[in-house]
């Protein structure tokens, strides 16, 4: 066969016509002595793409796409353009090669991929499939996850049509990490709670606990890095909308919010006690009141929809309440009791007298209704709400409820207890927290003067638990995050385990 640089179109077509000739072309391409000779052969192949067949030339196409062009002693600046021309001609003449080309180019030649999608818009399906199937396994390290996510976001800049599906994929994978961290923390807490085990078992448990702590730290680093990149992407996209003052309903920011809402509904809403990933939507809502309205509208539609499962409706109510309580960029809300606990400072201001009276009347009708919601509130939240004095009848209702018993078990014999779920508990991951902190309202107890004014009007429940209520509420609403300020639950757990191991070691020495 003639040398690559001197092969004409007729010779190339002839070589492509049989299996042996195709194999020879592939070998010549892989063994090319210089970038110039490789470019000459690829340029010639670009003129013969009508002769390519998927069953015969897949390996040859793979060789073109997998060559390391910069490994030549004399790199050819025009080489990327030569490859781009070949790929464009190939997928135009033989669309069956589209999946193969996209899979090879997704994480390397983004401009080439963009040109490919311009020529063949239907290729976005193959791009997404390539991203989905090559997503790093959860056991890979933080660098692999963060790098892959960065590539995914880069792909979105070239193919905005993939936004909803790629955001959904990224959120779903981050939710998996979030849930795994929660399960690991739960297992550690259960291990700490075992008080009746034999001493020798406690000592053997040490290695597994330390391993679990190490895994939990690694997962937290992965999630933190991925969320930080997503926060940057959201800030860049939504910040452009704010600076350009675009009308609502247009632009990339609205499309991103829609993608986040879809991902929230599909991956987050039905996931119990996900602690971190929902802050992506929290952060996005801070860029526009219309974004906040869209999020709350979705939640409230879920709450009143009798066609969906009751757990989803309860979760929607919890998300709405927690969001309104925590988002400092949201105007004064009214309706939920612990929301009012958070907004007590604004309600007690002299200029809020009219709003306070209107809110008190509405809440009074709510808590005095037949459903008796105060009976089913957590005690700490109930006491804090009573202290506000917003509804005069609150004390009488609480006193009446103290004499009413509620079954402690359900019809199947399980415990009928209140399960606290505050979706927007503090997010204090090392990096990600910096994006949320300026927008976040932390818990502060109600003013001491409010306590003094109502000291003689407390219910028996408030009298018995008054000294601990604010602390309990603060601990409940602040302490469920992965990394509270100043320390982490992982560090607390590790220190506790070390103390327990030391105690058990002393017991063993006594024997």
Say if residues 431 and 276 touch (Cβ distance below 8 Å).
Answer: no
3-state secondary structure of 409: strand
What is the DSSP secondary-structure string of 156-221? HHH-GGGHHHHHHHHHHHHHHHHHHHHHHHHHHHHHHH--SS-HHHHHHHHHHHHHHHHHHHHHHH
Contacts 24+ apart (CB under 8 A), 395-399: 395/457, 395/458, 395/459, 395/462, 397/367, 397/368, 397/372, 398/374, 398/459, 398/461, 398/462, 399/459, 399/460
Q: For residues 219 and 184, what is the distance between their CA atoms, to the nearest angstrom? A: 10
3-state secondary structure of 139: coil
Say if residues 38 and 78 touch (Cβ distance below 8 Å).
Answer: no
pLDDT reported for residue 477: 44
pLDDT reported for residue 201: 42
Domain ranges of the chain: 4-117, 135-331, 351-402+425-480
pLDDT reported for residue 306: 86
**Structure tokens given for 1:** 């066969």
CA separation, residue 370 to residues 292, 392, 394, 402 (Å): 32, 18, 14, 16
Predicted TM-score (pTM) of the model is 0.62
Measured between its terminal Cα atoms, the distance across the chain in Å is 86
Quickly count: other Cβ atoms within 10 Å of residue 85's Cβ. 17
Q: For residues 163 and 174, what is the distance between their CA atoms, to the nearest angstrom? A: 16
**Structure tokens given for 366:** 């709510």
pLDDT reported for residue 3: 47
Say if residues 318 and 422 touch (Cβ distance below 8 Å).
Answer: yes
pLDDT reported for residue 195: 47
pLDDT reported for residue 159: 85
Say if residues 53 and 19 touch (Cβ distance below 8 Å).
Answer: no
Say if residues 375 and 359 touch (Cβ distance below 8 Å).
Answer: no
Torsion angle, CA of 379/383/386/387, rounded to 10 degrees?
A: -170
**Structure tokens given for 162:** 């993939």
Q: What angle do CA 85, 89, 94 make, to 5 degrees?
A: 150
Q: For residues 412 and 389, what is the distance between their CA atoms, to the nearest angstrom? A: 39
Say if residues 379 and 417 touch (Cβ distance below 8 Å).
Answer: no
Q: Would you write out the chain's pLDDT as a tens digit for each of its 511 residues?
A: 344 445 788 889 888 988 889 989 988 888 877 778 888 888 899 999 999 999 889 999 988 887 655 445 555 666 778 888 899 899 999 999 988 888 777 666 677 777 778 878 888 888 899 899 989 988 888 888 998 999 899 888 888 889 999 999 999 999 999 999 888 887 777 766 654 455 444 444 455 777 778 888 889 999 999 999 999 999 999 986 554 444 455 688 999 999 999 999 999 988 877 889 999 999 999 998 889 889 988 998 898 888 888 888 888 888 988 888 788 887 543 335 545 665 566 667 777 778 777 877 877 887 777 777 777 666 666 776 777 777 777 778 878 877 666 554 545 555 444 455 678 888 868 899 889 888 887 866 655 544 454 455 555 555 555 555 555 445 444 443 333 333 444 444 445 444 444 444 443 344 3
3-state secondary structure of 415: strand
CA separation, residue 334 to residues 17, 346, 442 (Å): 76, 12, 18
pLDDT reported for residue 490: 42
What is the DSSP secondary-structure string of 323-354? HHHHBTTS----SSHHHHHHTHHHHHSGGGHH
Q: Which residues pair with 409 in a beta bridge?
A: 415
What is the DSSP secondary-structure string of 362-382? HHHHHHTSTT-GGGGS-HHHH
3-state secondary structure of 429: coil
Nearest to 90 by CA among 45, 123, 126: 45
Nearest to 295 by CA among 260, 329, 334, 326: 260
Q: What is the DSSP letter of 266?
A: I
Q: For residues 61 and 162, what is the distance between their CA atoms, to the nearest angstrom? A: 26
């Amino acid at each position: 066969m003639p040398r690559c640089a001197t092969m004409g179109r007729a010779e190339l077509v002839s070589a492509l016509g049989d299996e042996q000739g195709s194999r020879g072309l592939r070998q010549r391409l892989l063994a090319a002595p210089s970038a110039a000779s490789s470019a000459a052969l690829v340029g010639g192949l670009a003129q013969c793409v009508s002769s390519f067949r998927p069953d015969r030339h897949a390996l040859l196409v793979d060789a073109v796409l997998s060559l390391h062009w910069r490994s030549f002693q004399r790199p050819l600046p025009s080489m990327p353009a030569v490859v781009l021309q070949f790929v464009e001609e190939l997928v135009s003449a033989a669309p069956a090669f589209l999946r193969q080309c996209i899979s090879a180019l997704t994480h390397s030649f983004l401009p080439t991929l963009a040109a490919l999608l311009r020529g063949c818009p239907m290729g976005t399906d193959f791009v997404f499939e390539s991203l989905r199937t090559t997503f790093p396994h959860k056991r890979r390290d933080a660098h692999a996850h963060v790098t892959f996510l960065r590539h995914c976001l880069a792909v979105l800049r070239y193919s905005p049509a993939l936004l909803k599906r790629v955001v959904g994929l990224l959120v779903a994978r981050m939710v998996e990490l979030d849930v795994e961290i929660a399960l690991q923390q739960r297992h550690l807490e259960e291990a700490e709670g075992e008080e009746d085990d034999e001493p020798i078992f406690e000592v053997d448990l040490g290695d597994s606990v330390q391993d679990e702590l190490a895994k939990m730290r690694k997962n937290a680093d992965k999630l933190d890095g991925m969320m930080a990149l997503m926060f940057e992407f959201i800030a860049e996209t939504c910040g452009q909308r704010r600076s350009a003052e675009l009308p609502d309903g247009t632009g990339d920011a609205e499309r991103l919010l829609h993608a986040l809402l879809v991902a929230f509904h599909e991956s987050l809403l039905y996931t119990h006690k996900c602690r971190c990933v929902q802050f992506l939507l929290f952060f996005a809502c801070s860029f526009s009141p219309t974004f906040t309205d869209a999020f709350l509208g979705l939640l409230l539609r879920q709450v009143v929809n009798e066609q969906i499962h009751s757990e989803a409706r309860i979760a929607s109510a919890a998300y709405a309440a927690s969001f309104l309580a925590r988002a400092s960029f949201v105007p004064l809300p009214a309706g939920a009791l612990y929301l009012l606990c958070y907004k007590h400072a604004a309600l007690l201001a002299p200029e809020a007298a009219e709003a306070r009276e209107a809110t008190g009347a509405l809440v009074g009708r709510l808590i005095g209704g037949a459903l008796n919601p105060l009976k089913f509130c957590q005690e700490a939240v109930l006491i804090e709400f009573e202290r506000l004095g917003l509804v005069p009848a609150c004390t009488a209702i609480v006193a009446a409820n103290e004499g009413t018993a509620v079954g402690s078990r359900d019809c199947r014999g399980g415990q009928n207890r209140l399960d606290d779920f505050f979706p927007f508990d503090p997010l204090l991951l090392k990096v990600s927290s910096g994006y949320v902190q300026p927008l976040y309202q932390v818990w502060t107890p109600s003013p001491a003067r409010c306590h003094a004014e109502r000291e003689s009007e407390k219910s028996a429940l408030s009298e018995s638990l008054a000294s601990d209520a604010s602390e309990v509420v603060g601990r409940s609403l602040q302490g469920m995050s992965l990394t509270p300020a100043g320390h982490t639950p992982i560090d607390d757990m590790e220190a506790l385990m070390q103390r327990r191991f030391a105690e058990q070691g002393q017991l063993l020495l006594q024997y």
